[in-house]
Amino acid sequence: MNRTVLLVIAHGSRDPRHAATVQALVRRAGALRPGLRVETAFLDFNLPSVTGVLDRLAADGVRDVVALPLLLTRAFHAKADIPAVLRQAPPSLRIRQAEVLGPSPLLIEAVERRLYEAGLTPGDKSTTGVVLASAGSSDPEAIAVIAETARELRRTGWCSVRPAFASASLPRTEEAVRSLRTDPGVRRVAVAPYVIAPGRLPDRIAAGAAEADVLADVLGPSPELAALLLERYDGAHAARRPVAHSA
């Protein structure tokens, strides 16, 4: 049994669908790796808190933890919030912070899975424009990653792919939908939410997709995301530099 615990850290939401979806994803990842102890914590709104889980792990005698931000881009939460709370962990814990989930080919596969589940087929690619709609960020690095992810999705054969954002950045989902209507060769427009779990911003994406022909579901507990959690865990587990604790 591997003694290094995987701690998945989600943002949290007042929407109960968010925590339920996160827990389903974490359970799926755990089922793929029998013997691996997998825990879930939330930065805000939901329990258990990150601090609470870390204290419990230390009390259980755990020594090594891989903390995985359940985030698609490396923005403020991954750069500041999560490292700050990890530095408050009990000194007996050796913690490595894993990379965020994106970018990854597995995320492209998960987006396509949701599009196909919404009724599209691989044969529809050449005539379908896709709005890749993310929650949004003011972080230039995060925005660049979303733009590159849209380009990678386009390279799989979709007629056109445009990024959109529910907050902080432009264009909004509805604007991207209208813009795609004018692209040569686009006969239908699909909106693919590039978010992990339901909540306020995903609901905003859905509202912005009112004029689209197809609305896919959030990424949720897809097999690709479950496999990606373990891929990030393995990468961090092989690293040698733990997160520094506060003095």
**Residues 91 and 19 grouped into a single domain:** yes
Domain that holds residue 147: 105-215
Residue 47 has pLDDT above 60, yes or no: yes
Q: Is the pLDDT of residue 95 over 70?
A: yes
Please give the radius of gyration of the chain, using alpha carbons only, rounded to the nearest integer. Answer: 19
Q: Which residues of 205-225 are buried (b: 16+ CB within 10 A; e: fewer)?
A: bbebbeebbbbbbbbbbbebb
* pLDDT tens, position by position, 107-165: 999 999 999 999 999 999 999 999 999 999 989 999 999 999 999 999 999 999 999 99
pTM of the model: 0.95
Residues 93 and 11 in one domain: yes
Residues 94 and 52 both lie in one domain? yes
Give 46's contacts (C-beta < 8 A, 6+ positions apart).
10, 12, 13, 18, 19
The Cα 169–Cα 188 span in angstroms is: 25
Unique residue bearing structure tokens 């961090």: 236
| Together in a domain, 154 and 85 | no
Is 131 within the bounds of a domain? yes
CATH, residue 97: 3.40.50.1400
At residue 247, does pLDDT exceed 50? no
Domain-embedded: residue 23? yes
Whether residues 97 and 160 share a domain: the answer is no
The label of the residue with tokens 């102890």 reads: 37
The total number of structural domains in the chain stands at: 2
Q: Residues 164-222: pLDDT tens digits?
A: 999 999 999 999 999 999 999 999 999 999 999 999 999 999 999 999 999 999 999 99
* Claim to verify: residue 167 and residue 126 sit in the same structural domain: yes
